[in-house]
Homo-oligomer: A and B are copies of this chain.
Amino acid sequence: MTVSPFTLIERHACCGGEVHFLSHRSETLGLTARVNIFLPEKALAGQTVPAVYVLAGLTCNQDTFLIKSNAIRHAAEHGLALVAPDTSPRGADVAGEDASYDLGTGAGYYVDATADPWAAHYRMGSYVRHELPALIEKHCPVRTEKRGIMGHSMGGMGALSVALGDADAWTTVSAFAPIAAPSQVDWGQKVTSSYFGGHEAEWGQYDPCLLLKGGRTHPGTLLIDQGLDDEFLDRLCPDALEKAAREAGQSLCLRRHKGYDHSYWFVQSFIQDHLKHHAEGLS
């Protein structure tokens, strides 16, 4: 019998299942990390169920996606678990990490920093790709052979980069308003000069458009929703993603929605289709 590394902070019945607020010591981050999970009724009854990892965007934390996306009802209907990690390490104590919304706390970009002072703890890339799924699958009633991943904005970038980076490990992928070409926009340039110490080449393993250009494709269809009144549209680059996918032969379902912005009001409007997409792929 293995001892769970997770400390249960809160538990709430929800839609026939339960939401668990957890914390654990992360070896990858070298810090205590928070993660929330939703377990559907079947999982509570002892069956293993497929899990979809949900990655939130800048300024968010492990609570945001589960509270604001309205995903749980649909996950419950499909018998899917949801795993919602934080968006950055917390308590890394890097000077200036709380100073801006788009770098440091709340802005881990699901990458591994390679430059000091960030490299010691800002390793959300390895955390989300390896450590977290391994822990979840070892200690929660979650299937090991199939996983899905989805996210919003910075988290949409994370979902695409994780799934394109290791297509065998992630069966289904979807995103809302992802940062599709981070190396080309100011958000990414800020990451380059800080987390990557100026080494732009690091983006090759994280930038969805660069991954596609480098021949990293996913056998599934990438389901992506994008609002056309998104206030960050210029920096999200959906057209570049579409072009890169076409040239790479990547199956992509990119839906553009007139009138919708970047908020979770947009996310909740189309979340049902995403859970259906994952349920079909993971069943």
**Interface residues of A, Cβ cutoff 8 Å to B:** 12-16, 19, 67-68, 70, 72-73, 227, 229, 257, 259-261, 263-266, 268-269, 272
Contact A265 B73 (CB under 8 A): no
Check if B261 sits within 8 Å of A13, measured CB to CB: yes
Is B268 in contact with A13, judged by CB distance below 8 angstroms? no
A14 and B265 in contact (CB under 8 A), knowing A67-B68, A68-B67?
A: yes
Copies of this chain in the oligomer: 2
- Chain B hits for A266, CB < 8 A: 12-14
Q: Are A12 and B261 in contact (CB under 8 A)?
A: yes
Residues of B within 8 A of A261 (CB): 12-13
A15 touches B72 (CB 8 A): no
In the complex, what's the smallest C-beta–C-beta distance from A231 to chain B, in angstroms? 11
Cβ of A203 to closest chain B Cβ, rounded Å: 32
CB < 8 Å: which of B14, B263, B265, B269 contacts A269? B14
Contact B265 A12 (CB under 8 A): yes
Q: Is B67 within 8 A of A260, CB to CB?
A: no
Minimum CB distance partner of A259 in chain B = B13
User: Please, which residues of chain B bring their CB within 8 A of the CB of A263?
Assistant: 12
Name 18 interchain pairs, CB-CB below 8 A, sorted by A.
Answer: A12-B261, A12-B263, A12-B266, A13-B227, A13-B257, A13-B266, A13-B269, A14-B265, A15-B268, A15-B269, A16-B269, A19-B265, A67-B67, A70-B70, A70-B268, A72-B265, A72-B268, A73-B272
Nearest-neighbor residue (CB-CB) of A229 within chain B: B13
A72 to B263, CA, bound (A): 14
Give the complex CA separation of A14 and B260 in angstroms.
7
Closest residue on chain B to residue A12 by CB atoms: B265
In the complex, the answer to whether B265 meets A13 with C-beta atoms within 8 Å is yes
Complex Cα–Cα for A16 and B19 (A): 28
